[in-house]
A = this chain, B = another copy of it.
Amino acid sequence: MTQTTNPARKVIVEDDVSGFHAAFPLLLQSAEAQVLGFSAISGNVWRDQSLAYVRRMLEITGHPEIPALPGSVFPLLNSEAATERWEALYGKLVWKGAWSRGWVEETLQSDPRYHAHDVVVDLPIGNPTVVPASEEHAALTMLRLTREHPGEVSIIATGPLTTLALAQSLDPGFASRVKELVYMGGSLNPHRRRDSTSAHQFAREFANSPRREFNIRWDPEAASIVMRSPWPRVTMIPVDPSTATELTAELLARMTAAGTPLCRALASRHPGFPLWDEIATATWLRPDLITESDELFIDVNTEFGPGYGDILSWAPGYEPGLGETRQTVVRAIDVPAFEDFLVELLNAPQPPAVGLPVPAAGG
């Protein structure tokens, strides 16, 4: 049997999806990736809300055959009540995801919708009607698929790391069966590098807490379990490279020019956000987009003090040697090439959408 020189690379993706973004569709539009499952996890919104987005995204992009996996609902140990006590001692958090009730300062972002974890509010891109949710917890699916394809499955996690920590805790052989882990999370030494109002507002999240990032802060214990697991290879996409990116109205127009269902759904996004998750999937597909990276040992502060959930990093030789992982930490990417890559893949032909028609942009 002959093989192409570049057989499709198997991947499972997990995110706390809170809107139709470009990071997942990018993988679906690439001939390089074979997506074995999209998993939803709590974080920016609750798991059930996120899962509705994943199911609807699979309908719009024409991939009803790919499983929509339910990841974890709650962090391992952290909680809304603990977070309120923490804020009383250590100061207000800028963003608390599903626990957010509002903003401390005026912000361009819309007000968060605070509701119970098992409530699902209507999606602006239409609710899913065709693609079901898988009945198996994503952690079990990950265990099963990595047993079926040991050493072949990459994992890209762009939300909190609870599901991965559960998989590893259920089966200590899990991490070493994965091909590589790529995660968007954590923060090293980010600086604001754009001058837009959005960029100034997003800088609030790191200006006074350079080591704090929401995905990790939502479930610090899970993140530390993941950081101490024996993955063959780990790539960290921290906040740092994202400060050079922004979903401007112009870029969004370029990304959605083809007017396919995918493009129309994507056009419903509010401009202004850094392209956090898109960097993770794009650099997994195209590592040449990475222009600057370091090799550092990484762990997470799990003490319930001012630094709860902060990234800990060490240059080799300074690390304590308590299981923390040596990771490739992405510091900067080629932003124009990255944008061109998004524009090219997202405007490419897509399989027929299923389910409800996609509302026009802004709907």
Contact = CB atoms under 8 A, between A and B. Distances in A.
Contacts of A89: 320, 322
Contacts of A191: 189, 191
Nearest to A299: B306
B301 A307 contact: yes
Interface string A217-248: 00000000000000000000000000000000
B208 A210 contact: no
A318 B104 CA distance: 7
Nearest to A301: B306
A310 interface: yes
A68 B305 CA distance: 40
A257 to B, nearest CB: 37
A91 interface: yes
A351 to B, nearest CB: 45
A87 B314 CA distance: 12
Interface string A234-275: 000000000000000000000000000000000000000000
A317 interface: yes
Given A301-B307, A303-B303, A314 B211 contact: no
A312 B306 contact: yes
Nearest to A303: B305
A101 interface: no
Interface of A: 87-92, 94, 104-105, 188-189, 191, 204, 207-208, 210-211, 296, 301, 303, 305-307, 310, 312-315, 317-320, 322
Q: Across chains A and B, which 9 residue pairs bring their CB atoms closest together, nearest first?
A: A307-B307, A303-B305, A208-B313, A92-B318, A210-B210, A91-B320, A91-B314, A301-B306, A91-B318
